[in-house]
Amino acid sequence: MRVDLNGLKGSIVALVTPMDGPTSPYTAIDEDAIKGLIDFHVENQTKAIVVVGTTGESATLTSEEHCNMISKVVVEVDGRIPVIAGTGSNSTHEALFLTKEAKSRGADAALIVTPYYNKPTQKGLFEHHKIIANEVNLPQILYNVPSRTACDMEVKTVVELSKLDNIVGVKEASGQLNRVKAIRDNCKKNFLIFSGEDSNAKDFILQGGDGVISVTANVAPIKMSKMCEAALEKDSELATQLNNELMLLHENLFVEANPIPVKWAVEQIGLIKKGIRLPLTELSSDNQNHVKIAMDRASLANQ
């Protein structure tokens, strides 16, 4: 039975994909680590899980691996919190396939990134998402991240897409906080609005957002959850205090391309083994020190 996304708020983890072995094109997915990762998040107040998104190395996985990860996470979560599957592609055909697979494998929703590299027009973006929404009866969250895709979904396009029944929210990672109010004021009631950037999540929520799809939550789930809850309750003082403790972590988890730093950090807290797939590489020794300092600053041992 699927979990209802209605009212979903707070800290949602963009889950790493555990791997084991030397860095190569064939680094193996560590299926044995998935249960421990899921239990860690359920027990530490993460409100939902995004599987095989950017942080989950979706761009390096085969279609079979991608779909199998969705299945495995759905099984391990066992209905305790929502599972949102990354199903975006720069090919509408492939995005349709992955979204259909996500539905068949039990995901509660799909997170669909704007088509990267192609640089579609706003009309192209609308048509891309419209056909997926019309053909796959599964809740869908738009994902706008211009820094990675070279394509910016404008507010007017989000508003038009929000009128479609199966499009229920947006992950907005343009960094433009003024979009929160514009989306909230013009989209349908209960349309979900999530930040895609940990560094602005506190202000994003205080300005009317529902939460964050978070990289930081991989290593600091309770603190991220409490920060989001404070912001949702408009307790700006507490939210700022908690966010200040996390800010260096927000920043240093991006000293190299995501998910390189966060996979190293999750390894350090003992949840996964060393493993990442080319063209990504292991975190450099200099930057390991930067991430370690940020983890210490966040007092993760006392979260």
Tell me what the mean pLDDT of segment 175-184 comes to: 96
Tell me what the mean pLDDT of segment 188-213 comes to: 97
Does the structure show a pLDDT above 50 at 302?
A: no
pLDDT band at 299 (very low <50, low <70, confident <90, very high): confident
Interval 106-155: pLDDT, tens: 999 999 999 999 999 999 999 999 999 999 999 999 999 999 999 999 99
Interval 205-227: pLDDT, tens: 999 999 999 999 999 999 999 99
pLDDT at 152: 96
pLDDT band at 1 (very low <50, low <70, confident <90, very high): low
Tell me the C-alpha distance between 228 and 220, whole Å. Answer: 12
Nearest Cα to Cα of residue 198 among 177, 178, 215, 183: 215
Query: Token digits for 167?
Result: 């499009």
Catalytic status, residue 143: yes
HEC letters along the chain:
CCCCCCCCCEEEEECCCCEECCCECCCEECHHHHHHHHHHHHHCCCCEEEECCCCCCHHHCCHHHHHHHHHHHHHHHCCCCCEEEECCCCCHHHHHHHHHHHHHCCCCEEEEECCCCCCCCHHHHHHHHHHHHHHCCCCEEEEECHHHHCCCCCHHHHHHHCCCCCEEEEEECCCCCHHHHHHHHHCCCCCEEEECCHHHHHHHHHCCCCEEEECHHHCCHHHHHHHHHHHHCCCHHHHHHHHHHHHHHHHHCCCCCCCHHHHHHHHHCCCCCCCCECCCCCCCHHHHHHHHHHHHHCCHHHC
Does the structure show a pLDDT above 50 at 303?
A: no
Catalytically annotated residue among 103, 171, 202, 223: 171
Tell me the C-alpha distance between 284 and 273, whole Å. Answer: 16
Its pTM surpasses 0.85: yes
Interval 239-286: pLDDT, tens: 999 999 999 999 999 999 999 999 999 999 999 999 999 999 999 999
Does the structure show a pLDDT above 50 at 80?
A: yes
pLDDT at 301: 45
Catalytic status, residue 26: no
Work out the angle at residue 159's Cα, subtended by the Cα atoms of residues 203 and 132, and round it to the nearest 5 degrees. Answer: 110
Catalytically annotated residue among 47, 143, 202, 223: 143
